[in-house]
Amino acid sequence: MSPKPRTPTDDSGSPDDLKSRLEMLESKLHAAKIAYLNGTPFDGREVTYEDLNRIAKDYIQTSYAFQKAKFGAVKLRMSVAKLLR
């Protein structure tokens, strides 16, 4: 039996709120990715692949919630692997 997909609990709201959260997560993902590649600290500690994976999954879930709020359905599917390229 496969695990249930994670559902966003704090991603309900207006499209404007979700868009601002999405922009914040996009910046965080970019900064964490650079810190991971350079081996520098991010938020006071070194970034592991698991941390980077978690940030990417949060970004994807927020993106899906934004798309559902704005368009009524998810129009663009993403994967962690493609985000971390």
pLDDT in tens, 29-38: 999 999 999 9
**pLDDT digits 0-9 by tens, 5-19:** 444 445 578 999 999
pLDDT of residue 10: 53
Q: SS3 of 82, please?
A: helix
Does the pLDDT at position 54 exceed 60? yes
pTM (global) more than 0.85:
no
CB 68 within 8 A of CB 58: no
